[in-house]
């Protein structure tokens, strides 16, 4: 959602997913038109991923799902099991 991103950056921000599964999911999203994959020739080859217009249309839905989960299932989202709003999480991250 923050622009062009490399595979390793995505993997770093998606703990628990192995590289093969991430590659498969990115390929599915590319086929569906949600993600664009751009290959830059050279040594080493550089590949960037970005959201398409269709992918950007999903952002409000993902935000709503995140907010719902943080409010209704905090024990599955947060180590302390306490519910938070997205704004509270943002403030916590900024304070670190």
* pLDDT tens readout for residues 51-95: 999 999 999 999 999 999 999 999 998 889 999 988 888 888 888
Give dist(CA 33, CA 95) in Å, integer.
Answer: 36
What residues does each domain of the chain span? Answer: 1-55, 58-96
User: Nearest-CA neighbor of 1 among 65, 52, 77?
Assistant: 52
CATH 3.30.70.1430 fits 1-55, yes or no: no
pTM: 0.71
């Amino acid at each position: 959602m923050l622009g062009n991103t490399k595979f390793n950056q995505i993997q770093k921000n998606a703990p628990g997913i192995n590289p093969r599964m991430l590659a498969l999911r990115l390929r599915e999203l590319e086929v569906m038109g949600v993600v664009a994959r751009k290959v830059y020739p050279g040594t080493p080859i550089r590949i960037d991923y970005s959201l398409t217009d269709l992918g950007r249309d999903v952002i409000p839905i993902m935000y709503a799902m995140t907010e719902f989960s943080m409010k209704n299932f905090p024990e599955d989202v947060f180590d302390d099991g306490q519910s938070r709003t997205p704004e509270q999480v943002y403030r916590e991250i900024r304070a670190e």
